[in-house]
Amino acid sequence: MARGKHPRNLNVVMAEMYRTIGMTEAYDQFRTLQIWDEVVGEAIARITSVERLTDGDLYVRVRNPSWRMELNFRKKEIAERLNRQVGRELVRTIIFR
């Protein structure tokens, strides 16, 4: 039995579904939380956990105070990389706690 279409990536299908039902913002927020580890790298991902994204503010828990200070210096760069991956400006600021 031959199929007329090629298989599609599930992420693409999900993105289209969310756009169709008007939940693009929610999907982009979810995707931003999911790509955190990839964007910041393994070392930072081990000592952080993303809590939530609300009104452009990304709240991130940091397990070590010295890392928190370092990440505060790099938050603009990290926000730009997250936004680039998502494809639009979703994260305005990162709040490390």
The answer to whether residue 14 is domain-embedded is no
In a domain, 18, yes or no: no
* Residues 57-84: tens digit of each pLDDT: 999 999 999 999 999 999 999 999 999 9
Largest Cα–Cα separation, the chain: 60
Q: pTM here?
A: 0.75
pLDDT digits (tens, 9 = 90+) for 8-66: 777 777 777 767 777 677 777 777 778 899 999 999 999 999 998 888 999 999 999 99
Question: Domain with 86 in it: what CATH number?
Answer: 3.30.300.180
